[in-house]
């Protein structure tokens, strides 16, 4: 734009103001659009899918092992039949929940030459194993899951933190290892980012991510002077929580945007719950899981990441953790390989979300126009981010979804307040 500066001061200011507005509008126009698969996926999510209830399950052997080969291959999370037989069998029911159809799922991925990728820690492994369990139950243990190029239709990649810590984090804390085996695992998988290129190379339809379980205070120590390295103190959960937020914002968000530019949908699965808040049978660090999920919602939902808000509904089933069976301390992982196990429910929910990419049918307008929830430490709040219009960049820039909000507050914060909040988040 050519702007000849007039002699009078008011005209100079008016011209400069016009230039600023044009530059701002141009910057908004240059923001990449959320890809069509992600848009369709998000628009057709039913808010009620994650607001269902638990009911007594039919007495049809629902707690028997449905995939013997998978359970034998990975028996770590296999709970005893005597224990499962003593407990009441509950089934989750919700409007919009579709049970996983392995034949349809495999046929669709092969026809579209797409894949599905799970990324994260051992909870991501449980999600992946549960899907393989249902494939075995419905199609047989010897089913080959390959696409037309011979690549796996469904894959698991380990990355405990989903990406490399930014320098603003590593300047303050150091990741700690307690054994040679753990040092090796941390070196190989902790901050791995190769899963992003793997998803692109395999033409993934969606990537399911989740992290948080490895953000415990005893895995980090605060940096001090080099000569006192062995005496560096264990980081507090307050410090670890700040590290989590900065890491999600500065490291994970660019990876998500890269996937979006390749038409790959990203799904966030809640971490936790781990145990019961009233009985405190688990590590105190697990109490931070809900806060971690809240941070992920505020940072990732405005980008078009599809959220699986399962924390609250699973808190009612905390006795399904394996520690109740083995009398240990594992209130993180869930009993697996049965019809009504929690990881199998994750598979049904994910299938319900992914099925909308194919169907493109959202049902009633009131049901499909779900507003993304930016969850605070208390009750969930809505920040006016309507996915029917689907203008996440515009709305998240102006409104509280990105910067935090209070319950029932749909107003947009001032630019000064947004700037102050952003600066505060970057300070340890």
Residue at which a domain ends, from 326, 352, 369: 369
CA distances from 60 to 88, 241, 262, 326 (A): 13, 44, 44, 26
Report pLDDT for 355. 76
Do 381 and 352 share a domain, yes or no? no
Residue 79 included in any domain:
yes
Residue 418 included in any domain:
yes
Report pLDDT for 387. 29
Residue 14 included in any domain:
no
CB atoms within 10 A of CB 346: 25
Residue 1 included in any domain:
no
Do 185 and 229 share a domain, yes or no? yes
172, 222 contact by CB (below 8 A): yes
Do 397 and 419 share a domain, yes or no? yes
Give CA–CA dist 350/97, Å, rounded: 9
Write the pLDDT tens digit of every residue in 14-26.
655 555 445 444 4
Do 96 and 229 share a domain, yes or no? yes
Report pLDDT for 49. 87
- CA nearest neighbour of 344 among 142, 45, 100: 100
Place of tokens 């820039």: 397
357, 265 contact by CB (below 8 A): yes
Do 305 and 178 share a domain, yes or no? yes
Do 70 and 219 share a domain, yes or no? yes
Residue 327 included in any domain:
yes
Do 402 and 358 share a domain, yes or no? no
Query: What six digits make up the tokens of 56?
Result: 């007594």
Q: What are phi and psi of 40, to 5 degrees?
A: -65, -40
Q: How many domains does the chain fold into?
A: 2
Report pLDDT for 325. 59
The three-class DSSP label of residue 90 is strand
Write the pLDDT tens digit of every residue in 126-147.
999 999 999 999 999 888 899 8
Place of tokens 């988040």: 425
Do 364 and 394 share a domain, yes or no? no
Which structural domain, as residue segments, surrounds residue 57? Answer: 34-369
Residue 76 included in any domain:
yes
Residue 173 included in any domain:
yes
Ranges of the chain with pLDDT below 70: 1-47, 59-62, 81-88, 275-283, 324-329, 356-428
Do 386 and 339 share a domain, yes or no? no
Q: For residue 301, what is the DSSP state?
A: G
Query: What six digits make up the tokens of 33?
Result: 């659009």
Do 323 and 392 share a domain, yes or no? no
CA distances from 134 to 67, 124, 343, 355 (A): 7, 16, 11, 16
Write the pLDDT tens digit of every residue in 216-225.
888 999 999 8
Report pLDDT for 391. 29
**Is cis: bond before 238, omega within 30 of 0?**
no
Do 106 and 243 share a domain, yes or no? yes
R_g of the chain, CA atoms, integer Å: 23
Residue at which a domain ends, from 333, 349, 369: 369
Strand 204-209 relative to strand 265-269, pairing: parallel
216, 285 contact by CB (below 8 A): yes
Do 385 and 364 share a domain, yes or no? no
Residue 12 included in any domain:
no
């Amino acid at each position: 734009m050519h702007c000849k500066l007039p002699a009078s001061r008011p005209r100079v200011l008016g011209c400069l103001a016009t230039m600023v507005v044009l530059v701002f509008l141009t910057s908004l126009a240059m923001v990449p659009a959320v890809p069509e698969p992600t848009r369709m996926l998000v628009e057709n999510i039913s808010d009620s899918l994650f607001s269902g209830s638990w009911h007594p399950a039919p007495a049809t052997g629902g707690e028997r092992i449905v995939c013997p080969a998978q359970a034998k291959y990975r028996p770590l999370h296999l709970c005893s039949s005597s224990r499962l037989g003593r407990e009441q069998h509950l089934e989750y029911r919700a409007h919009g929940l579709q049970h996983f159809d392995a034949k349809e799922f495999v046929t669709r991925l092969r026809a579209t030459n797409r894949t599905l990728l799970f990324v994260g820690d051992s909870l991501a492994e449980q999600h992946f194993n549960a899907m393989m369990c249902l494939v075995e139950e419905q199609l047989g243990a010897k089913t080959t899951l390959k696409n037309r190029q011979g690549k796996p239709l469904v894959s698991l990649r380990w990355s405990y933190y989903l990406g490399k810590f930014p320098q603003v984090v590593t300047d303050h804390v150091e990741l700690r290892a307690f054994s040679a085996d753990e040092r090796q695992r941390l070196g190989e998988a902790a901050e791995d980012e190769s899963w992003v290129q793997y998803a692109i190379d395999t033409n993934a339809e969606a990537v399911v991510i989740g992290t948080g379980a490895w953000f415990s205070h005893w895995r980090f120590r605060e940096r001090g002077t080099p000569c006192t390295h062995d005496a560096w103190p264990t980081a507090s959960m307050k410090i670890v929580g700040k590290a989590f937020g900065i890491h999600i914002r500065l490291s994970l968000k660019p990876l998500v945007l890269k996937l979006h530019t390749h038409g790959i949908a990203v799904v966030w699965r809640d971490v936790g719950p781990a145990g019961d808040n009233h009985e405190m049978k688990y590590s105190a660090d697990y109490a931070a899981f809900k806060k971690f999920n809240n941070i992920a919602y505020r940072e990732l939902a405005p980008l078009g990441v599809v959220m699986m808000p399962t924390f609250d509904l699973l808190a009612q089933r905390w006795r399904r953790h394996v520690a109740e069976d083995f009398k240990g301390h594992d209130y993180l992982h869930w009993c697996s390989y049965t019809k009504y196990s929690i990881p199998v429910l994750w598979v049904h929910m994910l299938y319900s979300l992914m099925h909308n990419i194919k169907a493109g049918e959202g049902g009633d307008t009131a049901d499909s126009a779900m507003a993304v929830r930016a969850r605070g430490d208390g009750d969930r709040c809505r920040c006016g981010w309507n996915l029917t219009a689907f203008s996440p960049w515009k709305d998240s820039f102006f409104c509280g979804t990105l910067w935090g909000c209070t319950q029932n507050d749909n107003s947009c914060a001032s630019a000064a307040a947004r700037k102050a909040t952003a600066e505060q988040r970057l300070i340890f």
